């Protein structure tokens, strides 16, 4: 194997021509005495140069012999593993060494020597040459020197370049650079091993050697194009180009088609390179990066991730990969929450990932950028049990620990390890997984690994310390790429021999031979150290995908995925930080806000107590319905009021029933129940009190003849019935036109009490609302508000009125005051605190309970006390509904009222008379400034005596008109 370094463009070397024409003319004009003599030092330098050139040829032969010895040593070293196979391989290697290397080189050298001796002999026979060589002025030593120069010069010129036995290919290896992929550090030694192995084979490229001319591209497309032009325009002519790094391969492959050159990429994964229209002469042993996307989708489906984020470097290979990944995600129903890209500094992009709450993140970047990203991941806390990263699998195993100081990464090794823990990688299989399977080169993958490690150790890499150069994972791809070239050339040579052509006839304009090479590569299929090597119609490598996870600073194989067969082989070795699969988003738990159970229990207990009390009072009202204290308070209205209180207390309990007890499907019925209970209960309880107050107001405003008429019991229900009819009409229209539905109010996310970063609480609160809820509430509140205000007005107007027919009118008025005040406070406050379920329920239920309890207490406690104080009162049979008094009592009562009115009129007249007398007295005192006459005083005294006499008369009249003892007892019992 021979490698030539083309560093710059230089013109092809011209063939050396000897100016024999001029010398012949001189020799013809002049005899040998005029032959030009060469300077002595020039001849010595020429001889030294030719000797060095001859030694170079000999050393080339020696290297060819030694190139096969490592292979033989490896086979002898490993002969104990598979003795028969290894012995056969060693013998074949030795025979191929003997026949291919030693014999061919020896034969070539011998033929060259004989040809040169023939040339020398011909020169000697030539008479002019004899005269020139054996001239009189030339000594024997000089003549021998000239013959040696002539012989060795011809031999060296023939050996130099070996134009008839060498096949030249160009190699572009990324060895150094600031960013990108410097995989040539390991891929170039692998390619050199492949060249040595190929050239050892006698059954490949018979009579030809495969030579590699390479240079460094630094994974920069511009420099890669420059290297390509140097390789093309510097002799010898190249038959094919090897290239690595996607950006360089893109530039080289797009331009190489202009020279009909095939390009074989050993380290390019850009999906853009699969475009046959754009890259018609490209093949690659490295699988396309799109082979990872189906694997990533399969993993996301396996772990239930449906929301991901993408972080990419702004390179074509990653841009096209992301576009393919987006298409797969859309097809699989996976949401891409954000797609961040960066050129060199990933700080802002990683920060945006945290803002978007990215949990499952696919990272696509070169290894140098990957170290910067990982440091930012540690700084922004995007790692651990809440996050999972997908990285590219062709990084080295210790990629996150190396070159930190040289690249200016301000994170320690421990920090980088902590951030990298648990991440997943997907990579195409680049090493044959069957370690005992012999490949086309006669080695197993482990044999190749051993040879590669030895070569890298000689190059100065600390392989024993697991400090592998970049591109170590792709080294088998470079090795198999050279074998693919050799096999394709061999197949092409066999085809060209039938038409009398050879690969040496290839030129950059010869499309026929280029097509033959294309067909040979396209049909190539063999078992290499990287596995089965075959190419698709797009020139892509067909390979399986391997899935690994970093666990405890070591990569663990989790499984394999066959894209074509859609077969995932899983080994169940995954280990997650925290012991569970990271979620694909912040887990949002919908927590329904319900009424506090202790609060609900307390209010329910109060409501039940109120209902029991109301039932007890109803029983009390029925049992003592014939007693005057009950009869004169309209017991029928009291019973309706108590029933209304029971309904209202039931509505209070219904307000506390929520999603804890009722399913969402039945919540609509609960909403309707609340509305109907509250409206009907209010109308019954408040309507009964409103009816009493209305009766009192009617007694004080209507003529006495109408008030003395007997009232029928059914008329007492008219007012309550009217209120209930209005309620039923409104509620029915509301229920039919725009029924109340369950509406959920969603609150901002809250941090749970146990401070788990993976879980956030989204509070929800149920409400009973309709589409036009504001309008219906306005109508209902307006109607109820008018009734409340009117009842308040009537209660105020009759605040000091006492009538025997309704003996508890003052207490009813006080109850109305309380109901109105509490309703006016509760309704607006409830609208404000509706989002606070406990406060709203407590406020409304307490208002209902307080109204009911206060109304029952004001109206019934005096009656209960009266019954307790006078348990032996005679029970009178009532003859009328609502009025329990006899006709005689009614008559006496009317007489007393009439007498009271007459006395009030008389008192008013006397008070007016006294006022006039006092006014006259004041006038007279003013007129008589110094003295008062006797006559005037007598007049005044007379007037006073008259007034006194009148007052005494009225007093006597009053006493004579006093009621009987029974009347006094009746007045005392009147409440």
- The predicted-structure confidence for 455-490, as pLDDT tens digits, reads as follows 999 988 888 887 889 889 889 999 999 999 999 999
Q: Which residues of 475-494 are buried (b: 16+ CB within 10 A; e: fewer)?
A: bbbbbbbbbbbbbbbbbbbe
Among 295-304, 660-669, 796-805, top mean pLDDT goes to 295-304
* Residue 803 preceded by cis peptide, ω within 30: no
What is residue 44's predicted lDDT score, i.e. its pLDDT?
A: 52
With a cut of 90, say whether residue 450 has pLDDT above it. Answer: yes
Q: Rounded to whole angstroms, how far apart are CA atoms 475 and 542?
A: 17
Whether 187 and 266 have beta carbons less than 8 Å apart is answered as yes
DSSP bridge partners of 426:
392, 547
Instruction: Read off the pLDDT of residues 752-784 as tens digits, 9 standing for 90 and up.
Output: 776 666 778 889 888 898 888 889 988 988 888
Picking from 688, 649, 671, the residue whose alpha carbon sits closest to that of residue 770 is 671
Whether 875 and 627 have beta carbons less than 8 Å apart is answered as yes
Q: Considering only 283-292, 301-310, 741-750, 864-873, which range has the smallest mean pLDDT?
A: 864-873
State phi, psi for 752 to the nearest 5 degrees: -70, 165
What is residue 230's predicted lDDT score, i.e. its pLDDT?
A: 93
With a cut of 70, say whether residue 964 has pLDDT above it. Answer: no
Picking from 703, 614, 704, the residue whose alpha carbon sits closest to that of residue 652 is 614
Instruction: Residue count of the chain, please give it.
Output: 975
Whether 344 and 178 have beta carbons less than 8 Å apart is answered as no
Share of the chain above pLDDT 70, in %: 73
Instruction: Read off the pLDDT of residues 367-418 as tens digits, 9 standing for 90 and up.
Output: 999 999 999 999 999 998 889 999 998 788 889 998 899 899 999 999 999 9
Q: Rounded to whole angstroms, how far apart are CA atoms 823 and 278?
A: 81
The model's pTM is 0.51
**CB neighbours of residue 263 within 10 Å:** 26
Question: Concatenated DSSP letters for 724-769?
Answer: HHHHHHHHHHHHHHS--EEEEEE---B--TT--TTEEEEEEEEEEE
Distances (CA, A) of 462 to 37, 335, 400, 465: 60, 44, 17, 5
Beta strands across the sheet bearing 335-342? 335-342, 307-313, 360-364, 388-392, 424-428, 545-551, 554-562, 567-570
With a cut of 50, say whether residue 19 has pLDDT above it. Answer: no
Q: Rounded to whole angstroms, how far apart are CA atoms 134 and 485?
A: 54
Residue 227's H or E segment, with its range, is helix 221-233
Q: State mean pLDDT over 39-60.
A: 51
Specify the higher pLDDT residue, 269 or 137: 269
Chain Cα centroid distance, residue 873:
83
E strand map for 273-384: 282-284, 307-313, 335-342, 360-364
Whether 270 and 320 have beta carbons less than 8 Å apart is answered as yes
With a cut of 90, say whether residue 589 has pLDDT above it. Answer: no
Among 57-71, 226-240, 887-901, top mean pLDDT goes to 226-240
With a cut of 70, say whether residue 497 has pLDDT above it. Answer: yes
Question: Average model confidence (pLDDT) for the chain?
Answer: 78
What is residue 207's predicted lDDT score, i.e. its pLDDT?
A: 84
What is residue 873's predicted lDDT score, i.e. its pLDDT?
A: 57
> Coil, strand or helix: which one is 173?
strand
What is residue 961's predicted lDDT score, i.e. its pLDDT?
A: 37
Specify the higher pLDDT residue, 597 or 934: 597
Specify the higher pLDDT residue, 899 or 945: 899
What is residue 834's predicted lDDT score, i.e. its pLDDT?
A: 84
Instruction: Read off the pLDDT of residues 540-559 as tens digits, 9 standing for 90 and up.
Output: 887 788 899 999 989 999 99
Q: Say which residue the tokens 């009225």 belong to.
A: 954
DSSP bridge partners of 759:
587
Among 131-145, 258-272, 536-550, top mean pLDDT goes to 258-272
Question: Sorting pLDDT into bands at 50, 70 and 90, what band is 264?
Answer: very high
With a cut of 50, say whether residue 591 has pLDDT above it. Answer: yes
Question: Concatenated DSSP letters for 604-649?
Answer: HHHHHHHHHHHHHHHHHHHHTTTSHHHHTT-HHHHHHHHHHHHHHH
Distances (CA, A) of 735 to 45, 902, 970: 118, 59, 53
Question: Sorting pLDDT into bands at 50, 70 and 90, what band is 287?
Answer: confident
Q: Rounded to whole angstroms, how far apart are CA atoms 971 and 958?
A: 17
By the 10 Å C-beta count (0-12 exposed, 13-18 middle, 19+ buried), 891 is classed as exposed
Q: State mean pLDDT over 665-681.
A: 91
Residue 214's H or E segment, with its range, is strand 209-216
> Coil, strand or helix: which one is 887?
helix
Whether 827 and 781 have beta carbons less than 8 Å apart is answered as yes
Q: Rounded to whole angstroms, how far apart are CA atoms 360 and 50?
A: 68
Question: Sorting pLDDT into bands at 50, 70 and 90, what band is 72?
Answer: very low
**CB neighbours of residue 406 within 10 Å:** 7
Among 129-133, 296-300, 898-902, top mean pLDDT goes to 296-300
Instruction: Read off the pLDDT of residues 423-435 as tens digits, 9 standing for 90 and up.
Output: 999 988 888 878 7
Q: Rounded to whole angstroms, how far apart are CA atoms 206 and 103?
A: 13
Q: Which residues contact 823 (CB under 8 A, 6 or more apart)?
A: 784, 788, 847, 851
* Helix residue ranges, H only, 78-168: 83-96, 104-125, 127-133, 140-159
Picking from 732, 375, 745, 291, the residue whose alpha carbon sits closest to that of residue 547 is 291
Chain Cα centroid distance, residue 700:
76
Q: State mean pLDDT over 515-535.
A: 91
Q: State mean pLDDT over 627-641.
A: 81
What is residue 261's predicted lDDT score, i.e. its pLDDT?
A: 93
Q: Say which residue the tokens 């590219």 belong to.
A: 392
Q: Which residues contact 106 (CB under 8 A, 6 or more apart)?
A: 61
Question: Sorting pLDDT into bands at 50, 70 and 90, what band is 448?
Answer: very high
Q: Rounded to whole angstroms, how far apart are CA atoms 725 and 687?
A: 12
User: The tokens of 665 are what?
Assistant: 């499907």
């Amino acid at each position: 194997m021979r490698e030539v370094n083309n560093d710059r463009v230089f013109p092809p070397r011209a063939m050396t021509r000897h100016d024999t024409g001029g010398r012949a003319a001189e020799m013809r004009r002049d005899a040998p005495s005029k032959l030009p003599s060469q300077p002595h030092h020039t001849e010595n330098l020429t001889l030294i140069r030719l000797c060095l050139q001859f030694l170079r040829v000999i050393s080339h032969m020696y290297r060819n012999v030694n190139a096969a010895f490592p292979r033989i040593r490896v086979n002898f070293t490993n002969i104990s593993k598979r003795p028969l196979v290894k012995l056969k391989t060693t013998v074949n290697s030795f025979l191929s060494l003997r026949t291919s290397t030693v014999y061919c080189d020896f034969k070539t050298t011998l033929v060259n020597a004989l040809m040169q001796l023939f040339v020398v002999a011909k020169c000697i026979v030539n008479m002019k040459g004899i005269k020139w060589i054996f001239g009189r002025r030339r000594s024997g030593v000089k003549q021998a020197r000239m013959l040696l120069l002539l012989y060795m010069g011809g031999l060296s010129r023939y050996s130099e370049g070996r134009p008839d036995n060498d096949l030249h290919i160009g190699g572009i290896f990324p060895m150094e650079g600031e960013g990108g992929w410097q995989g040539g550090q390991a891929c170039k030694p692998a390619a050199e091993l492949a060249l040595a192995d190929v050239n050892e084979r006698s059954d490949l490229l018979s009579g030809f050697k495969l030579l590699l001319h390479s240079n460094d591209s630094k994974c920069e497309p511009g420099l890669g194009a420059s290297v390509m032009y140097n390789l093309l325009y510097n002799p010898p002519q190249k038959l094919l180009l090897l290239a690595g790094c996607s950006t360089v391969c893109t530039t080289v492959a797009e331009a190489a088609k202009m020279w009909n050159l095939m390009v074989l990429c050993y380290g390019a994964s850009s999906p853009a390179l699969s475009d046959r229209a754009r890259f018609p002469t490209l093949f690659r042993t490295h699988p396309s990066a799109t082979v990872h996307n189906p694997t990533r989708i399969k993993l996301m489906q396996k772990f239930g991730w449906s929301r991901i984020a993408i972080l990419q470097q702004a390179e074509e290979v990653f841009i096209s990969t992301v576009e393919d990944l987006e298409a797969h995600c859309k097809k699989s129903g996976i949401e891409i929450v954000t797609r961040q890209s960066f050129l060199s500094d990933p700080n802002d992009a990683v920060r945006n990932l945290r803002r978007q709450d990215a949990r499952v993140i696919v990272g696509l970047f070169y290894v140098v950028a990957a170290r910067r990203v990982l440091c930012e991941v540690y700084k922004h806390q995007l790692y651990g049990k809440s996050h999972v990263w997908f990285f590219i699998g062709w990084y080295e195993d210790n990629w996150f620990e190396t070159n930190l100081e040289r690249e200016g990464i301000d994170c320690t090794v421990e920090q980088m390890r902590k951030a990298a823990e648990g991440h997943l990688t997907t990579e195409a299989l680049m090493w044959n997984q069957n370690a005992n399977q012999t490949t086309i080169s006669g080695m197993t993958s482990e044999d190749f690994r051993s040879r590669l490690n030895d070569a890298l150790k000689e190059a100065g890499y600390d392989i024993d310390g697991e400090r592998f150069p970049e591109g170590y994972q792709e080294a088998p791809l470079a090795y198999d790429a050279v074998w693919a070239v050799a096999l394709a050339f061999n197949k092409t040579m066999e085809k060209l021999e039938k038409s009398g052509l050879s690969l040496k006839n290839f030129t950059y304009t010869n499309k026929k031979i280029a097509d033959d090479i294309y067909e040979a590569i396209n049909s190539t299929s063999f078992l290499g150290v990287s596995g089965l090597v075959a190419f698709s119609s797009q020139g892509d490598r067909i390979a399986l995908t391997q899935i690994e996870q970093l666990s405890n600073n070591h990569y663990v194989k989790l499984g394999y995925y066959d894209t074509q067969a859609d077969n995932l082989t899983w080994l169940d070795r995954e280990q997650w930080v925290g012991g569970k699969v990271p979620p694909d988003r912040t887990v949002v738990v919908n927590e329904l806000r319900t009424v506090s159970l202790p609060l609900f229990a307390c209010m329910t207990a109060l409501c039940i107590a109120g209902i029991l009390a109301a039932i007890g009072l109803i029983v009390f009202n029925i049992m003592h319905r014939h007693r005057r204290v009950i009869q004169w308070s309209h017991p029928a209205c009291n019973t309706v009021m108590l029933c209304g209180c029971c309904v209202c207390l039931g509505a209070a309990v219904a307000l506390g029933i929520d999603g804890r007890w009722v399913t969402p499907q039945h919540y609509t019925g609960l909403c309707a129940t609340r509305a109907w209970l509250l409206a009907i209960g209010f109308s019954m309880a408040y309507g009964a009190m409103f009816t009493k107050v209305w009766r009192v107001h009617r007694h004080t405003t209507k003529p006495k003849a109408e008030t003395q008429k007997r009232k029928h019991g059914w008329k007492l229900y008219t007012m309550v019935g009217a209120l209930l009819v209005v309620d039923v009409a409104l509620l029915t229209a509301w229920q039919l036109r725009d029924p109340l539905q369950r509406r959920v109010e969603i609150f901002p996310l809250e941090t749970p009490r146990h401070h788990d970063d993976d879980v956030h609480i989204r509070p929800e609160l149920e409400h009973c609302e309709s589409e036009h809820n504001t309008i219906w509430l306005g109508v209902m509140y307006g109607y109820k508000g008018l009734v409340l205000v009117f009842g308040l007005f009537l209660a105020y107007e009759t605040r000091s009125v006492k009538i025997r027919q309704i003996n508890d009118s003052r207490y009813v008025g006080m109850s109305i005051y309380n109901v109105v005040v509490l309703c006016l406070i509760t309704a607006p406050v409830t609208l404000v605190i509706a989002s606070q379920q406990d406060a709203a329920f407590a406020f409304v239920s307490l208002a209902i309970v307080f109204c009911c309890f206060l109304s029952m207490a004001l109206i019934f406690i005096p009656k209960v006390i009266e019954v307790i104080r006078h348990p032996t009162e005679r029970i009178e049979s009532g003859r009328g509904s609502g009025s329990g008094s006899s006709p005689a009592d009614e008559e006496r009562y009317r007489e007393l009222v009439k007498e009271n009115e007459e006395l009030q009129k008389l008192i008013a007249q006397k008070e007016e008379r006294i006022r006039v007398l006092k006014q006259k007295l004041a006038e007279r005192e003013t007129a008589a400034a110094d003295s008062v006459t006797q006559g005037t005083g007598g007049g005044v005294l007379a007037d006073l005596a008259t007034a006194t006499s009148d007052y005494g008369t009225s007093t006597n009249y009053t006493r004579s008109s006093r009621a009987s003892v029974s009347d006094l007892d009746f007045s005392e019992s009147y409440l």
